[in-house]
């Protein structure tokens, strides 16, 4: 399921992103996408490819797995003060995206790759090392 008022477009220096054609209220689920679950061993291989940038931690009951979300979920760009948050449903094997504030028409929708919409811990591409 994906909200009908979303589109993909160029997002300045971030490649592509997901945008809203109309205003979208706070607490609106804008996408529910199935995932493909992979093992920790698969993750070691994925980390050597471009797909590393598009996978999510998948840790039901502390398991160290990862998943690839289908739909438009991999296209949402990162922001430490994101407009949306993602939620894992381990039983249904889906990821949902929900707005955390009102979204303006034409605005890019973002998620925080740390999981919590306002988590300021540096993500892998911002870590200096």
Phi, psi dihedrals of residue 82, rounded to the nearest 5°: -70, 160
Tokens of 72: 């438009």
Element (H, E) at 46: helix 40-46
Q: Is 40 left (phi over 0), alpha (psi -120 to 50) or beta?
A: alpha
Instruction: Write the CB contacts of 65 (distance below 8 Å, at least 6 apart in sequence).
Output: 37, 38, 39, 40, 43, 57, 58, 59
pTM reported for the whole predicted model: 0.86
Segment 34-79, tens digit of pLDDT:
999 999 999 999 989 988 888 998 999 888 899 999 999 999 998 8
Ordered by where they begin, the domains of the chain are 6-111 (2.170.270.10)
């Amino acid at each position: 399921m994906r909200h009908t008022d979303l589109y993909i477009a160029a997002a300045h220096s971030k490649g592509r992103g997901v945008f809203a054609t109309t205003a979208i209220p706070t607490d609106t689920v804008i996408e529910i996408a199935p995932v493909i679950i992979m093992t920790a061993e698969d993750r070691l291989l994925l980390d050597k490819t471009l797909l590393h940038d598009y996978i999510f931690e998948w840790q039901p009951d502390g398991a160290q797995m990862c998943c690839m979300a289908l739909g438009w979920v991999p296209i949402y760009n990162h922001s430490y003060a994101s407009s949306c948050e993602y939620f894992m449903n381990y039983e249904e094997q889906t990821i949902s995206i929900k707005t955390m504030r009102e979204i303006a028409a034409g605005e890019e929708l973002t998620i925080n790759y740390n999981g919590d919409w306002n988590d300021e811990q540096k993500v892998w591409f911002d870590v200096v090392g």
